[in-house]
Amino acid sequence: MSVPLDEFGRTGHRSTRTIFGAASLSNVTQSAADRTLDVLLRHGVNHIDTAAGYGDSELRIAPWLKREPNRFFLATKTGSRDAKGAREDLHRSLDRLGVDHVDLWQLHSLADPIDWDTALSPGGAIDAAVEARDQGLVRWIGVTGHGAQIAANHRRSLARFDFDSVLLPYNFVTMQLPYYAENFDALARTCAERNVAVQTIKSIAASPWLGRERTRTTWYEPLEAQADIDLAVWWVLGRPGVFLNTVGDIDLLPRVLDAAERFEKRPTDTEMTAMLERSRTEPLFV
């Protein structure tokens, strides 16, 4: 048994709807990373999403790519906003990953208005992305982000440049915020019309840490109970055409993938509301 597949936008690749979020490898040993690879292989995951800024993640993935050549659709990101810095990030990523190209290169966390304008203007990171695509160093170009404004911001980004993918938060509690939900739905419609892949994050986020001791490597406090994780994962996968990027903690990863494998239908709003109440889930942003 393995997680379901779907067309990843216009790329022609059939990706597992659960994409491995490799931020979880930022601060782990190679042996721990290799045990994580075994989990991915067991569940049939065929798409990895990492970033230049995810600690040692790219280094940890490199041995996987040698062990399992041509198995994974490989995505990484740059946090630089100017073309020179982005170009340097890409070549460093290729070197750390031990590859001559990546399938998807994304402008990372593009939310700040000044950063946004810099990155998408002449001399910005987008110029480096187009140049890299022309050189065969990347095949596709995406944009990612966080926060209450990001769905609206991605809509602006798609108006400025024809990105191949977007990535942003999506879960039941966040979609109860009218402004976010309105812009997410509008963004999703545009992406469907233009065959742009929609990747989602924070599926099992329960609340901000709010000063409490961090017991997981996720930047949010996650759901822990398998029954709650099941509902959260099923709710995301219940929306056709979206992908779920997995959790930033390798010890929670098997629970997310197990839930994805057992997905059949989207939970009702009543079931989700009850889950929010018992888990004390709160929005990560308002």
* Domain contains 15: yes
- What b/e readout covers 241-279, taking b as 16+ CB neighbours within 10 angstroms? ebbbbbbbbbebbbbbbbbbbebeebbeeeebeebbeeb
- CATH number of the domain enclosing 231: 3.20.20.100
Answer whether residue 284 is part of any domain: no
Closest by Cα among 146, 185, 148 to 168: 146
Distance (Å, whole) CA 229 – CA 98 = 34
Question: Is residue 2 predicted with pLDDT exceeding 80?
Answer: no
Q: How confident is the model at residue 115 (pLDDT cuts 50, 70, 90)?
A: very high
Q: Which residues contact 119 (CB under 8 A, 6 or more apart)?
A: 81, 82, 107, 110, 125, 126
Tens of pLDDT along 138-190? 999 999 999 999 999 999 999 999 999 999 999 999 999 999 999 999 999 99
> Which domain covers residue 92, as residue numbers?
5-279
* CA-based nearest residue to 234, from 143, 141, 157, 172: 172
CA 26 to CA 35: how far, in whole Å?
15
Determine which of 24-33, 188-197, 210-219 has the lowest per-residue pLDDT on average: 210-219
In a domain, 202, yes or no: yes
Q: Are 125 and 119 in contact (CB under 8 A)?
A: yes
Q: Is the confidence at residue 194, as pLDDT, over 70?
A: yes
Give the separation between CA 204 and CA 237, rounded to whole angstroms: 12
Instruction: Note whether residue 285 is domain-resident.
Output: no
Q: Is the pTM value of this prediction over 0.85? A: yes
Kindly state whether residue 177 falls inside one of the protein's structural domains: yes
Question: Is the pLDDT reported for residue 218 higher than 70?
Answer: yes
Backbone angles phi, psi at 46, to 5 degrees: -130, 20
Taking residues 32-59, report their average pLDDT.
Answer: 98
The pLDDT of residue 1 is 64
> For 233-261, what is each residue's pLDDT tens digit?
999 999 999 999 999 999 999 999 999 99
- Residue 43 counted as domain residue: yes
Residue 216 DSSP symbol = S
Q: Do the bridges between strand 221-222 and strand 205-207 make them parallel or antiparallel, or are there none, so unpaired? A: antiparallel
CA distance 124 to 120: 6
Q: Residue 142 gets which letter from DSSP?
A: E
Total domain count, the chain: 1
- Is 81 contained in some domain? yes
- Residue 117 has a pLDDT of 98
Buried-exposed string 27-37: b where 16+ CB fall within 10 A, e elsewhere = ebeeeebeebb
- Angle formed by the axes of helices 253-261 and 30-43, to 10°? 0
User: What is the C-alpha separation between 175 and 182, in angstroms, rounded?
Assistant: 9
Which pLDDT score, from 0 to 100, does residue 212 have? 81
Return the pLDDT at 246. 98
pLDDT digits (tens, 9 = 90+) for 69-101: 999 999 999 999 999 999 999 999 999 999 999
**Is 286 a member of any domain?**
no
Average pLDDT over the chain, rounded to an integer: 97
